Structure 1
Amino acid sequence: MKDIVTSFGAWIQALCEKDPEKARKWLATGYRAKDLQLKLFPHKLTARSAQMAAVQTMESMIAPLAHPEKAAMVSLFLPCEPLQVLGLAPYSCEGFGCFLSGTQAEGTFLRYAESEGLPETFCSYHKIFIGAAEKGLMPKPRFILNTTLACDANMLTFRRLAQFFDVPHFTLDIPYHTDQSAVDHVARQLKDMVAFLEQQTGQKLSQSALEEAVARSNRSLANYDRYLTLKADKCIPCEMTGEMFAAFALHNLLGTPETEAFTLQCLKDAEGAAPAEGVRLLWHHTTPFWVAPLRQVTDFNRKVQVVACDMCFEGIQPSFSDDPYQAMAQRVVYSAFNGPVARRTEKGVQTARQVKADGAVWFCHWGCKHTLGGAQLAKETFEAAGIPTLVLDGDGCDRSHGGEGQLATRMEAFVEMLKQGKGGQA
C-alpha cells in the first residue's frame, strides 16, 4: 500500500493537469497539515531548535501559496531583510523545488521542464520549480529578486520566470573577487534594490527597521557560530532534513525574530545536551533527504551524526559592519560559496575543526557545477588537513536518478572506516 505522502504527491500531479489552481489550494492544505504535525507531534528525538526551524520553513512555504500578492520570488542567497521590513514574504524557488520533492510531486514537473528545453544536467531544484510554475501550480509573484551567487542556474531560471510571469525583475550581481571594493559595489546595488522595492510597493522603507532587522541577522549568525563551537563536545541526534530547514532559516528567513529565537534555542539545546559520542560528519552541499537507506544511517543515530552543513555556515563571518547595507553585502561577498572553490574548502576545514568532525562528506548534487568541479580539490584539501573525506554523487531531489542503495553502502563503509580510526569505540 502506498503511504499517504506518495499518494498525495501523485494526486497533486494529476490534479495539476486538470485544474492547477485547485491543485495549488490542496498543496497549501497539505502543507498546513504538515505544519500542524510539526508543531504538535514532532519526532520524540527532535531537538527543540530543529522543530522551530522546521515550522518556520514550512510556514514560509505556505505564505506564497496563500497570499501571492504579498510574495517576492527570491534566490537562496538574496539578503531578505528589506522584504521583511516591507511586509513581503520571500518566495523561494529552491525551497519549493525541495518541498515538492519532499511531497513526492516532482516527477511530472521535471519531465515537463525537460520537454520545454531545459537540459538533463540543469539543477533539479530549479527544474522542478520551473516545471511547476509553467504548468500553473506555482502562483505569480509580485516581482522577482535574485543574486548571481552561487549557482549558474540562477542566470537562466529567474530571467525565464520573470518573462513567464511577466513581472519586474531585479538581479544583484556579486563580484567574484572578495575585497572592500566588491562589498561597496554590492552595497550600492542593495540600495538600488531597496529603491526598486519602494517603487514596486509604493511604500517607503524604514531605515531604523532595516537596521534592526540586519542587527538581528548579525546576532543570529553569531549565535549559530557559538552553537557550532558548543556542539563540538555534545551529542545532538538529528535528521538530514534538519540541516536544510536550518539553511532556509539562516538565509531567506535571516533577520526575522523567529530565526534569532531559533539560534538562541540552538545554544540552549547544546548547553543541555549529553557529551559527544559516535562518528561526527561535516556535510557539504544539499542533503539527499529522499534517500531512505541513507537516512537510516544518519537520522537520530547517536553513533553517526551530521554535526554541521556548509549550507548553514557558509555566510558566517568574524564580524559585520553596523551599516545595514555593508553588513548584507559582506555576507554575500565573503560567502564561502563565492569565488574559487578553495575558499569553500578552507571554510570547511576550519569548521570541521570547530565542530571536531571525524570526517567530511562532499555531496555532488547532479547539475551543480561548482560542487562537482571542486570535488577532487576538496577531497585533497580535507585529507591533507587530516580529515578523511567521502565524495558522494547523487541528486538532492530527483528520484529518477536512483542509486539509493549505492549511496547508503558507500556511506556505511566510510562510517565503518572512521569508527576503526577512532579505535572502534564510536
Structure 2
Amino acid sequence: MKDIVTSFGAWIQALCDKNPEKARKWLTTGYRAKNLQLKLAPGKLTAKSAQMVAVQTMNSMIAPLAHPEKAAMVSLFLPCEPLQVLGLSPYSCEGFGCFLSGTQAEGAFLRYAESEGLPETFCSYHKIFIGAAEKGLMPKPRFILSTTLACDANLLTFRRLAEHFGVPHFMVDVPYRTDQSAVDYVADQLRDMTAFLEQQTGQKLSQSALEETVARSNRSLANYHRYMTLKADKCIPCEMTGEMFAAFALHILLGTPETEAFTLQCLKDAEEAAPAEGVRLLWHHTTPFWVAPLRQVTDFNRDVQIVGCDMCFEGIQPTFSEDPYEAMAQRVVYSAFNGPVSRRIEKGVEAARQLKADGAVWFCHWGCKHTLGGAQLAKETFEGAGIPCLVLDGDGCDRSHGGEGQLATRMEAFVELLKQGKGGQA
C-alpha cells in the first residue's frame, strides 16, 4: 500500500505540471477510492467512532474537489454553521495541506511555493496548499472566509489566495483579549459574515436553522467533553491521524448531524471499551503522521496510547450562549489558542488530569511561532504540575525536514521513563 501511495503521489505531482485539471480529477478519484476502503474495509479502525470520523473527513475533502461551485474556502477556526445552513461545503486550506502530504504529493507544491517567495519558515500546511492552488491543482472556490485565530500565516495565506483566485474574501478579526467585549465584537462580525454570505449566494439564511445548527454544535462539544472524562479509565487503541480527523470534525464540520453522531459514538465506544492500560499521552498541536517510526510507537498500541490532542478540545467551554452568533463568538474568543500561550498550557494541564494522562507531548511544528515560543514554558508548567513533558521538534507534513529516527528515539525514551514512573508496567 505504501508503494501505491508513493507512486500515486508522484504521478499527481508530475501530471499537475502538464494538466492540472486532469490531475485534480485523478486526485478526486483516489480520494473516493480511499473513502470506499474506509467504509468497507477499515482495517485496524476497530472503534466505530474512528471509522465514522475518517469517512466524514474524507467526504469533506472530496466535496470541494468535485463541486467547487458549492464550496467556500475557510480557515480551520472559522465557525462554519452559516455555510451549512446555506448548503455550502467548507473548503479547508489546512485540511488539503494535510491530505496532500498523506498522499505523498506535497514536495512539488512546497518547492513551488518557496520559489514564488514564501519563506522556508512559513507553515508547511499553508505552503502546500498555496503551491497546489497556484499550480492549478486546487479549484477556485465561491469565496474565502477566514479568521485571525490562531495562526499568523492566516493573514498572508487567505489574502494571497483571494487575489490568486479573484474571489471575495471576508476575514473575522479575533481580538487577543478574552472578555465579553471581544465576544460582542466577534459576534457582530459573524452577523456581517452572514450578510456577506447572503449577498454572495443570493439566499436568505434561516435564523431558526442557524439556531438549530449551533445548538447541535454545542451538544457535540459537550458530548466530546464527556467522552474525554469517560475515556480516562478506558483503553481505546487508535492512530495518530485519528486526532487530526477529530479536529476537522470538531471545527469546520462542527454543527453537522454527522459530527454529532460521531461524538455520540465516541461515548458509546468509551462505555464499551476495556479498562485503561499502558502509557497514556496527551498530544499538543498537529501530529506528524508521516513519520512511520513514530507511528510504530503509538498507533494501535495498547501499551502506548495518545488519549487526546489539544487541537480537538481547545474550543470546549463550560456553557455557551443561546444566541447563535454569540455562541460561535465565544468558541473562538475563549479558545485556548487565543491570547497568551499560558492559556493553552493551562487548558492542557486541565485536560491531562481529566484524561488521566501519564505524560504530555508538546510538538513544535516547524513554522508555528505560537507553539515554538511556548515550548519551554509548557515543559516547566506541565512538570511543575507533576506531568512529565516531552518537547519534540519536527514538521507535521513536510518530509524534507527529516529527523524521523530521532523523533521515534526520543519518544521511545520518554515512554520508558513513564513506564518506570508507573512501576515498570506498560
TM-score using structure 2 length:
0.99
Task: Give the aligned residue type for 1:102.
Answer: G
SS in structure 1 at match of 2:219 = helix
- Between the aligned partners of 2:68 and 2:425, the Cα distance in structure 1 is 53
- Between the aligned partners of 2:65 and 2:397, the Cα distance in structure 1 is 21
Q: Deviations over 1:83-140 (max 9, x none)?
A: 0000000000000000000000000000000000000000000000000000000000
Determine if the alignment matches structure 1 residue 39 to structure 2 residue 42: no
Q: How do 1:339-418 residues align onto structure 2 when only pairs under 5 Å count?
A: 339-418=339-418
Q: How far apart are 1:324 and its partner, in Å?
A: 0.2
SS in structure 1 at match of 2:282 = strand
Q: Match of 2:266?
A: 266
- Between the aligned partners of 2:32 and 2:229, the Cα distance in structure 1 is 35
- Between the aligned partners of 1:116 and 1:140, the Cα distance in structure 2 is 19
Q: How far apart are 1:425 and its partner, in Å?
A: 1.2
Structure 1: unaligned runs, 5 residues or longer: none
**Among the aligned pairs, what percent are the same residue?**
90
Q: Match of 1:88?
A: 88
- Between the aligned partners of 2:298 and 2:4, the Cα distance in structure 1 is 24
- Between the aligned partners of 1:267 and 1:301, the Cα distance in structure 2 is 21
Determine if the alignment matches structure 1 residue 130 to structure 2 residue 130: yes
Q: Deviations over 1:279-304 (max 9, x none)?
A: 00000000000000000000000000
- Between the aligned partners of 2:239 and 2:61, the Cα distance in structure 1 is 20
Q: How far apart are 1:2 and its partner, in Å?
A: 6.7
Q: How do 1:49-128 residues align onto structure 2 when only pairs under 5 Å count?
A: 49-128=49-128
Task: Give the aligned residue type for 1:133.
Answer: A
Contact 2:44–2:300 (Cα < 8 Å) also in 1: no
- Between the aligned partners of 2:262 and 2:73, the Cα distance in structure 1 is 24
Q: Match of 2:164?
A: 164
Contact 2:289–2:295 (Cα < 8 Å) also in 1: yes
Structure 2: unaligned runs, 5 residues or longer: none
The runs of at least 4 aligned residues of structure 1 exceeding 6 Å deviation read none
- Between the aligned partners of 1:294 and 1:139, the Cα distance in structure 2 is 34
Q: Match of 2:254?
A: 254
In structure 2, relative to structure 1, the CA distance for the partners of 1:197 and 1:387 (3 Å cut) is: same
- Between the aligned partners of 1:111 and 1:252, the Cα distance in structure 2 is 28
CA RMSD of aligned residues (A): 0.7
Contact 2:45–2:51 (Cα < 8 Å) also in 1: no
Q: Match of 1:173?
A: 173
SS in structure 2 at match of 1:361 = strand
Determine if the alignment matches structure 1 residue 300 to structure 2 residue 300: yes
Q: Match of 1:224?
A: 224
- Between the aligned partners of 2:153 and 2:54, the Cα distance in structure 1 is 26
- Between the aligned partners of 2:315 and 2:55, the Cα distance in structure 1 is 22
Q: Match of 1:420?
A: 420
- Between the aligned partners of 1:171 and 1:249, the Cα distance in structure 2 is 22
Task: Give the aligned residue type for 2:298.
Answer: T
- Between the aligned partners of 1:33 and 1:241, the Cα distance in structure 2 is 18
- Between the aligned partners of 2:177 and 2:17, the Cα distance in structure 1 is 46
SS in structure 2 at match of 1:331 = helix
Task: Give the aligned residue type for 1:381.
Answer: T
Q: Match of 2:28?
A: 28
Contact 2:146–2:171 (Cα < 8 Å) also in 1: yes
- Between the aligned partners of 1:2 and 1:341, the Cα distance in structure 2 is 38
TM-score using structure 1 length:
0.99
Task: Give the aligned residue type for 2:350.
Answer: Q
- Between the aligned partners of 2:45 and 2:142, the Cα distance in structure 1 is 40
- Between the aligned partners of 1:371 and 1:145, the Cα distance in structure 2 is 24
- Between the aligned partners of 2:317 and 2:382, the Cα distance in structure 1 is 21
Q: How far apart are 1:46 and its partner, in Å?
A: 2.9
SS in structure 2 at match of 1:280 = strand
Task: Give the aligned residue type for 1:158.
Answer: F
Task: Give the aligned residue type for 2:58.
Answer: M
- Between the aligned partners of 2:36 and 2:187, the Cα distance in structure 1 is 39
Q: Match of 1:280?
A: 280
- Between the aligned partners of 1:262 and 1:187, the Cα distance in structure 2 is 27
- Between the aligned partners of 2:375 and 2:155, the Cα distance in structure 1 is 23
Task: Give the aligned residue type for 2:122.
Answer: F
- Between the aligned partners of 1:117 and 1:389, the Cα distance in structure 2 is 36
What count of residue pairs does the alignment treat as equivalent? Answer: 426
Q: Match of 1:321?
A: 321
Task: Give the aligned residue type for 1:163.
Answer: E
SS in structure 2 at match of 1:230 = helix
- Between the aligned partners of 2:45 and 2:37, the Cα distance in structure 1 is 15
SS in structure 2 at match of 1:374 = helix
Q: Match of 2:331?
A: 331
Q: How far apart are 1:44 and its partner, in Å?
A: 3.4
